[in-house]
Amino acid sequence: MSTTDVQMSQKVTEPIVLTEQAVTKVAELIADAGVDEELALRVAVKPGGCSGFNYDMYFDSEFANDDVVREFSGVKVVVDPSSAELLNGSTLDFTDGLQGAGFHITNPNATRTCGCGNSFS
């Protein structure tokens, strides 16, 4: 293991944590998918959006050897190494109400976010 690998593994300890509400909703969505393969929630950061980066979340059944995999009450969350650095310390929450219903990421690394909440820099 190189020095960079050691630094990266020490730096990205918990790229994202899920609140209880998010875990419940993700588990519900996976169950509703009704597929035989084991699905995990993949959280990624992609270039784009009005502030420089966009969050991307989708269900995935394929994992790379260098993916960061965490489990929250039976729900697996997968993050690629590049996204893990940008997400380090983030929280994924789910709210269900008349205003702002849906998933929301709170990212302490974001210096600026846009009004839609899906883009940051």
Q: Give the domain CATH number at 114.
A: 2.60.300.12
Q: How far apart (Å, rounded) are the C-alpha atoms in residues 103 and 29? A: 12
What's the number of domains the chain is made of? Answer: 1
Model pLDDT for residues 78-87, shown as the tens digit of each residue: 999 999 999 9
- Which two structure tokens, joined as six digits, stand for 48? 């784009």
Report the alpha-carbon angle 98-40-26, nearest 5.
20
Nearest 5°: the CA angle 43, 65, 5 is 90
Pairing of strands 68-72, 53-60: unpaired
Cβ-contact 91, 17 below 8 angstroms: yes
pLDDT given for residue 35 in this prediction: 83
Q: Which domain holds residue 7?
A: 3-120
21-57: pLDDT as tens digits? 999 999 999 999 888 788 999 999 988 766 578 889 9
pLDDT digits (tens, 9 = 90+) for 71-106: 999 999 999 999 999 999 999 999 988 777 899 999
pTM for the predicted model, two decimal places: 0.78
